[in-house]
Amino acid sequence: MSELVDETRTGFERRYSYAPSGIWSAPGRVNLIGEHTDYNEGFVLPFAIDRRTFAALALRDDDIVRVSSAASDDVVEVRLADVTAGASSLAAVPADGRWAGYPLGVAWAFGQLGADLAGLPGFDVHFDSDVPIGAGLSSSAAIEGALAVALNEVWRLGFDGARLVDVCHRAENDFVGAPTGILDQSASLLSQEGAALFLDCRDGSSEPVDLRLEESELAILVIDTKVTHDHASGDYAARRASCEAAARELGVRALRDVTWPQLLEARDRLDGVTYRRARHIVTENQRVLDTVAALRADGPDAIGDLMFASHRSMRDDFEISTPELDLAVEIALNYGAIGARMTGGGFGGSVIALTPVAAITHVQVAIDGAFAEHGYTGPEMFLVWPSQGARRDR
Ligand code: ADP
Ligand code: MG
């Protein structure tokens, strides 16, 4: 971890030939349970992971903004005034530097949410990260969050955590154009070490829920299938549209407001596909509440069945799983995990398996073997620990 802090500093110095004034970071996240419930104004239970994106940053004397990343060769340079002028300024960003929309969007969103950016100095920022990109671990919220806490401090904007969530959410939705809920940004900015974040996506309120993994001798194994997804893809939009159609038909503001008996009663009014999409959301919301209750009463040993029920619902009702994800879940459970499910938006990405520490190697070997047997790309597997949200590191 501290190595990456140093590398980020070195990367900054190599690109810009002077030293940054500080280094900030924000983590990736996994969602323990509660998938696609966020934009239905429901409940989610993510936690920040011990993989972070670091931002080395310094203010400038003029209004130039330069952004660079270890993940990209270019340094993208724009005027702050062009960024704050609106999303159309993205046209100023070279086509091969499209990633820069995430950090530039954060600067833009501060202005959208009430910060007076006129007359503020530009900045140079360099990012480095050990959050895998596009693996469903939210590298996008990590890069947004790292810059948001940095700018909030150096520009002395005084936004609290909830408003920083809005800033990052706005950047990703309205500047980058990737429609996402507030789950990723909330987890990356607000999580506490050792705990999951129980988040109500209707009002943005959240509270930590202790995970107590270590005392239960459990760990969370991520199995990254290396099948990459695209959040802005038509599939994601189609799921959102189905949920909105179901809510409209049921006469509610969002599926959050629908109970299981109400959905059953309305079954004939929905076509088969829309009904199954809605059933996933309604049951998944309840599973989040049940998971929080189980964690508080009995600890992580008690949530395995809820995790698998969530996976089945995403596989069969919401239809966002892939054969690779299904295989990883099946093998993990067969070889000792007490719960497993795909996590993230779906159509690829990662599985999380709640696994007794003593069984981790066994599970990993079995998954490697099964993927090889099926001719799938070898997955990447690593443990994640619930970690602190965005912060200043140096
Ligand atoms: P995920 O958030 O699941 O990793 P997304 O598609 O939401 O996947 O976001 C990934 C995109 O975010 C990348 O394609 C890139 O544009 C941008 N990004 C994330 N982290 C970095 C980084 N460290 N450097 C440059 N771009 C990044
Ligand atoms: Mg993302």
DSSP state of 392: E
Distances 111 to 117, 167, 178, 297 between C-alpha atoms, Å = 6, 9, 19, 44
Which of 38, 184, 224, 317 does the annotation list as catalytic? 184
Residue-range domain boundaries for the chain: 2-210+388-392, 218-384
Q: What's the fold here for domain 218-384?
A: Alpha-Beta Plaits (3.30.70)
Q: In which band, very low, low, confident or very high, does the pLDDT at 113 lie, cut at 50, 70 and 90?
A: very high
pLDDT of residue 91: 58
Q: What is the pLDDT of residue 316?
A: 98
pLDDT by residue (tens digit) across 132-184?
887 778 999 999 999 999 999 999 999 999 999 999 999 999 999 887 889 99
pLDDT for 385: 98
CA–CA distance, 268 with 275 (Å, rounded to integer): 9
Q: Cβ(350) to ligand 1 under 6 A?
A: no
Whether 1 shows a pLDDT value over 70: the answer reads no
Active site residue 184: yes
Please say whether the beta carbons of 264 and 179 come within 8 A: no
The whole-number pLDDT of residue 232 equals: 43
**pLDDT at residue 225 tops 70:** yes
Q: Is the pLDDT of residue 87 over 70?
A: no
CB 363 within 8 A of CB 335: yes
Ligand 1 centre from 370 Cα, in Å?
29
Q: Which whole number is the average pLDDT over 280-294?
A: 98
Q: What is the mean pLDDT of residues 292-308?
A: 98
Q: Is residue 50 pLDDT above 50, yes or no?
A: yes
pLDDT digits (tens, 9 = 90+) for 325-358: 999 999 999 999 999 999 988 888 899 999 999 9
53: Cβ below 6 Å to ligand 1?
yes
Is pLDDT of 200 > 60? yes
CA of 224 to the centre of ligand 2 (A): 15
Mean pLDDT of 225-253: 86
Residue range 253-276: average pLDDT? 95
Q: Which CATH architecture has domain 2-210+388-392?
A: 2-Layer Sandwich (3.30)
Q: Tens digits of per-residue pLDDT, 6-37?
A: 999 999 999 999 999 999 999 999 999 999 99
Q: Tell how far the Cα of 232 is from the centroid of ligand 1, in angstroms.
A: 12
- What ipTM is given for this predicted complex? 0.99
- Name, in order, each residue with C-beta under 8 angstroms of 268's C-beta and a sequence gap of 6 or more: none
The answer, yes or no, to whether residue 89 has pLDDT greater than 60, is: no
Choice from 4, 38, 143 to test ligand 1 binding pocket (greatest atom count within 8 A of CB): 143
Over residues 224-237, mean pLDDT = 76
Instruction: Check pocket membership of 188 for ligand 1, CB cut-off 6 A.
Output: no
Average pLDDT along the chain:
94
69 in ligand 1 pocket by Cβ < 6 Å? yes
| pLDDT for position 213 | 98
31 lines ligand 1 (CB under 6 A): no
Over range 301-325, report the average pLDDT: 97
Looking from the CA of residue 344, the nearest atom of ligand 1 is 3
The pTM of the full predicted model, rounded to 2 decimals, is 0.92
**CB 187, CB 33: distance < 8 Å:** no
Q: Which residues have CB less than 5 Å away from ligand 2 (the ion)?
A: 138, 140
**For position 392, what pLDDT does the model report?**
98
For every residue of 166-178, DSSP letters joined together read HHHHHIIIIII--
Ligand 2 center–CA 185 separation, angstroms: 9
Banded model confidence at residue 130, pLDDT cuts 50, 70, 90:
very high
Q: Which of 31, 51, 300 is nearest to 182 (CA)?
A: 31
